[in-house]
Amino acid sequence: MIPADGPLYLDCDTGIDDALALAFLLGAGHPPDLVGTVSGNVGAAVAADNTRRILSLFGYSDIPVAVGLDYPPLLGHPRGASQFHGANGIGGVTLAPVRTPPPPTAGAVDELITLAQRHRGALHIIATGPLTNIAEALRREPDLPDAIASITVMGGAAHVPGNVTPYAEANILGDPEAAAATFTSRWHQLLLVPIDITNKHLLSVADKRRLLYSPSAAVRSVGEMLNWYFDSYRQEHAGLWCPTHDPLAAALAVGAVELTDAPAVTITVDTGMGPQRGRTTVRANAGSDIESSPRVALGTRQQSADVIIDAVCSLADTG
């Protein structure tokens, strides 16, 4: 669990559920110290622009946003998820551009390493996109895990089929090599939040309406983004529900939703070029190093919808 004043780095590919996760963190009193973007739902630069606009929308334009890496296109499937997030990544919603130029930053990888050194042993990471930036930071700074208090990763399909291929979930398939490097590093705490659990935590049309009927234009904008997201899940949920992939990971990271089932595991990723590329295999770990083993989130004490929507609605006073 991230302390209320604990330093936080958010690594994201800002599509609709990343935007909801970011709004949740702001409303829950856990604004990131730094946001880094990566290509996934959209390219890293578009994700950064979306992020800056969302932060500005709620009065947090002082939070730095660093553009991260775009995955080498020859090594994996093409990035982008316009069917789920719209061409601009946020459901076609137009947000006002940031009025003042963003402060200069180094790239997301360098900024993450610098932030980790500044807050050595205290920095928490939430990663809601492909793990390209994280893996590159590990390559440049091999002892990075020693400097990080915890890392929460949204991604993978532990015991269910993938959501992009029969085997692979989108964030892991986005950069399997990066995921493999991340999961084999020895972090103090790593929590994997796979689609096994995020697909069970659903937002309803009533939840969306709470945002759409907010007195705050900023909060209503988030509800408008969800219109696209709900429609993209029409085949699975008849347009009445949508999963909470990224906001659930954020809620678990800050302890707003309590885990009841999170076994210690060993995580491997298929990095071959065959049909199982990106497959995440999770095996129970009963070894002597179980305390430092990754954990996989499989069950919670409560559903997350009210927690997420309450936090976002609380931003009505800021935007």
Question: Which residues are tagged catalytic?
Answer: 13, 245
In degrees rounded to 5, what are phi and psi of residue 215?
A: -70, -10
Give CA separation, 18 vs 11, 98, 231, 262, in Å: 10, 19, 17, 23
Residues 135, 141, 142, 144, Cα dihedral to 10°: -80
H or E stretch covering 231: helix 217-232
Q: Are 241 and 253 in contact (CB under 8 A)?
A: no
Q: In which residue are the tokens 């990971």 written?
A: 249
Q: How far from the centroid of its chain's Cα atoms is residue 257's Cα?
A: 16
255 burial level (CB within 10 Å; 0-12, 13-18, 19+) = middle
